[in-house]
Structure 1
Amino acid sequence: MFEFSLRQVALCGQQPWEEPGELAEPPSDLAAVIGTNGDQFRDSFTRLCLYLARTYDDAPQTRTDDTVVIGTEYGNTEALTRLQLGALADGKMLSAKHFPNATSSSASAFVNIGIGATGRNLTLNAGLLTPVIAIWQALYALAADRSSTSKVLVGDVYSAEALLDAKREANGLRCRSGLTHATFVKGREFRADFDFTADHEAVVTLGAQIGSDKSIDRNGAFVTADFLDVIQKLDVGEQSVLTCRGPLARRGALTVTRQNFDTVGNGGLGE
Structure 2
Amino acid sequence: MFEFSLGPVALSAPGPTNGTDEHDSRPADLHEVIGTAGDQFRDAFTRTCLYLALGAADDSGARADGATRTDDTVVIGTEYGNTAALVRLQRHAAEKGKLLSAQYFPNATSSSASAFVNLRIGSTGRNMTVNAGVLTPVLALWQALSALDRERSGTSRLLVGDVYGPEAAADARLDTPGLPCRDGVVHAFLHTGTDLTAEFAFATADARPPDLVRTVRKTGADGATTDGAARVAFAEHNSAFATRAFLDLVHTLEPAEQAVLECHAPDGRHAAVTVTRRRANTDSTNGGHR
* Fold conserved between structures, TM > 0.5: yes
Q: 1:20 to 1:232 in 2, by over 3 A?
A: farther
CA distance in 2, matches of 1:185, 1:203: 35
CA distance in 2, matches of 1:246, 1:202: 8
Alignment of 1:49-128 (within 5 A): 49-57=49-57, 58-60=62-64, 61-92=67-98, 98-128=104-134
**CA shift at 1:204, angstroms?**
4.3
- Matched-pair contact (CA < 8 Å) for 1:190–1:260: no
1:121 maps to amino acid = N
- Matched-pair contact (CA < 8 Å) for 1:72–1:124: yes
CA distance in 2, matches of 1:67, 1:251: 26
1:254 maps to amino acid = V
CA distance in 2, matches of 1:209, 1:24: 30
Structure 2: which 5+ runs fail to align? 218-230, 281-290
Kindly report the root-mean-square deviation, in angstroms, between the aligned alpha carbons of the 2 structures: 2.1
CA distance in 1, matches of 2:56, 2:279: 24
1:257 maps to amino acid = T
CA distance in 1, matches of 2:252, 2:176: 35
Residues 49-82 of structure 1: CA deviation (Å, up to 9, x unaligned): 0110011123245100000000011111111111
Residues 65-120 of structure 1: CA deviation (Å, up to 9, x unaligned): 00000001111111111111011012338786643222111111100001000100
The DSSP-based 3-state class of the residue aligned with 1:189 is: strand
Q: 1:64 to 1:231 in 2, by over 3 A?
A: same
Q: 1:203 to 1:246 in 2, by over 3 A?
A: closer
2:264 maps to amino acid = R
Partner of 2:270: 251
Higher relative contact order (CA 8 A, sep 6+): 1
Q: Could you tell which deviates more after superposition, 171-180 or 43-52?
A: 171-180
CA distance in 1, matches of 2:267, 2:69: 42
- Matched-pair contact (CA < 8 Å) for 2:43–2:85: yes
Q: How many residues align?
A: 259
Counterpart pick for 1:179 among 185, 193, 197: 185
Q: Could you tell which deviates more after superposition, 55-64 or 31-40?
A: 55-64
CA distance in 2, matches of 1:239, 1:78: 38
Q: Could you tell which deviates more after superposition, 213-222 or 91-100?
A: 91-100
The DSSP-based 3-state class of the residue aligned with 2:98 is: coil
Point out the structure with max Rg over C-alpha. Answer: 2
- Matched-pair contact (CA < 8 Å) for 2:154–2:192: yes
CA distance in 2, matches of 1:175, 1:249: 21
**1:223 lines up with 2:229 in the alignment:** no
- Matched-pair contact (CA < 8 Å) for 2:208–2:268: no
Partner of 1:266: none
Partner of 1:33: 33
**CA shift at 1:20, angstroms?**
10
- Matched-pair contact (CA < 8 Å) for 1:77–1:162: yes
- Matched-pair contact (CA < 8 Å) for 1:73–1:125: yes
Q: Could you tell which deviates more after superposition, 83-92 or 148-157?
A: 83-92
2:278 maps to amino acid = Q
CA distance in 1, matches of 2:166, 2:98: 24
Q: Could you tell which deviates more after superposition, 240-249 or 173-182?
A: 240-249
Q: 1:247 to 1:120 in 2, by over 3 A?
A: same
Partner of 1:269: none
**CA shift at 1:140, angstroms?**
0.5
CA distance in 1, matches of 2:17, 2:113: 25
- Matched-pair contact (CA < 8 Å) for 2:14–2:26: no
Residues 232-258 of structure 1: CA deviation (Å, up to 9, x unaligned): 111111112110011322111001111
1:10 maps to amino acid = A
Q: 1:167 to 1:93 in 2, by over 3 A?
A: farther
Partner of 2:257: 238
CA distance in 1, matches of 2:274, 2:210: 20
- Matched-pair contact (CA < 8 Å) for 2:71–2:155: yes
Residues 132-187 of structure 1: CA deviation (Å, up to 9, x unaligned): 11101000000001100000100011001111111211263210000000010001
Partner of 1:209: 215
Structure 1: which 5+ runs fail to align? 262-271
Tell me the TM-score normalized by structure 2.
Answer: 0.83
- Matched-pair contact (CA < 8 Å) for 1:20–1:176: no
